[in-house]
């Protein structure tokens, strides 16, 4: 085995934690918090879980983001003896309930076998498209839209936006006018009207950026 790619062996406890992280990401698309790891595995505190996570990071099995409770990532290129990691998946989001995070467990219909790194900017989840308002952009009813979680988007990009608790896929346009910022969510189908948003009156949140598309008939 190439010494440059071989990773150090894990202790039984480290394998247990890595399996817990993998299962959580597979089920919900999100890693567990330190406190959740401590509770599940019977540690006295979250600090004990943190020590094991740092050991996993030193060995190259996880990447940690300081200062965030769920700042645990699995590296893209892992050659691990854990079956759950060998099949890369993305959570498929169906209907989104008002007031709930888009990646809440109850919104996940299933896990779709798909390597997130296939998309240039990476993808965090798939959103099942409803309706034909983006037809002329090649996005059809029932398609799976690959989405990267971000709130930073540019004019002309296709976004997933939450407007007054309704989730929609549209092309983003933002400009400054005499009365402040104007946002327009542009449909790609003449049968549908664009949505004009006044941030002073309307509650709008960008949930992510469209980075690719899967037509489920090919899965």
Confidence (pTM): 0.59
Are 16 and 56 part of one and the same domain? Answer: yes
Question: What is the set of active-site residues?
Answer: 133, 170
| pLDDT over 60 at 218, yes or no | no
d(CA 173, CA 189) in angstroms, rounded, equals 16
Domain holding 58, by residue range, is 12-87
Average pLDDT (193-207) is: 91
Listed range (15-19, 75-79, 142-146) with the worst mean pLDDT: 75-79
Same domain for 109 and 77, yes or no, is no
The total number of structural domains in the chain stands at 2
Q: Which residue has the higher pLDDT, 66 or 157?
A: 157
Is 4 among the domain residues?
no
Residue 177 falls inside a structural domain: yes
Residue ending a domain, among 52, 87, 122, is 87
Residue 163 exposed, middle or buried by CB count within 10 Å (0-12, 13-18, 19+): middle
pLDDT at 64 over 80: yes
Does one domain contain both 204 and 150?
Answer: yes
Q: Using alpha carbons only, how large is the chain's radius of gyration in Å?
A: 20
Q: How far apart are CA 84 and CA 26, in angstroms?
A: 8
Domain boundary (87, 120, 152) is at 87
Residue 82 maps to which CATH number? Answer: 1.10.10.10
Give pLDDT, residue 190.
94
Are 152 and 140 within one domain?
yes
Res 182 pLDDT > 70: yes
Domain termination site, one of 23, 58, 87: 87
Q: What is the pLDDT of residue 85?
A: 43
Contact 158, 173 (CB under 8 A): no
Is 69 within a domain? Answer: yes
């Amino acid at each position: 085995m190439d010494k440059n790619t071989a990773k150090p062996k894990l202790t039984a406890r480290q394998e247990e934690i890595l399996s817990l992280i993998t299962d959580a990401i597979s089920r919900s698309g999100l890693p567990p918090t330190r406190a959740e790891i401590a509770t599940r595995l019977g540690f006295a505190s979250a600090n004990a879980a943190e020590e094991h996570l740092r050991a996993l990071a030193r060995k190259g099995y996880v990447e940690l983001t300081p200062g965030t409770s769920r700042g645990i990532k699995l590296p893209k290129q892992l050659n691990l003896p854990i079956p759950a990691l060998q099949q890369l998946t993305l959570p498929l989001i169906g209907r989104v309930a008002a007031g709930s995070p888009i990646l809440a467990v109850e919104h996940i219909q299933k896990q779709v076998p798909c390597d997130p790194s296939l998309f240039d900017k990476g993808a965090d989840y798939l959103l099942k498209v409803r309706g034909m308002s983006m037809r002329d952009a090649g996005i059809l009813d029932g398609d799976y839209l690959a989405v990267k979680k971000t709130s930073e988007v540019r004019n002309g990009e296709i976004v997933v936006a939450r407007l007054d608790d309704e989730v929609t896929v549209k092309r983003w346009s933002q400009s400054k006018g005499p009365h402040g910022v104007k946002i327009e969510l542009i449909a790609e189908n003449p049968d549908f009207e664009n949505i004009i948003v006044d941030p002073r009156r309307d509650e709008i949140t960008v949930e992510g950026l469209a980075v690719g598309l899967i037509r489920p008939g090919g899965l």
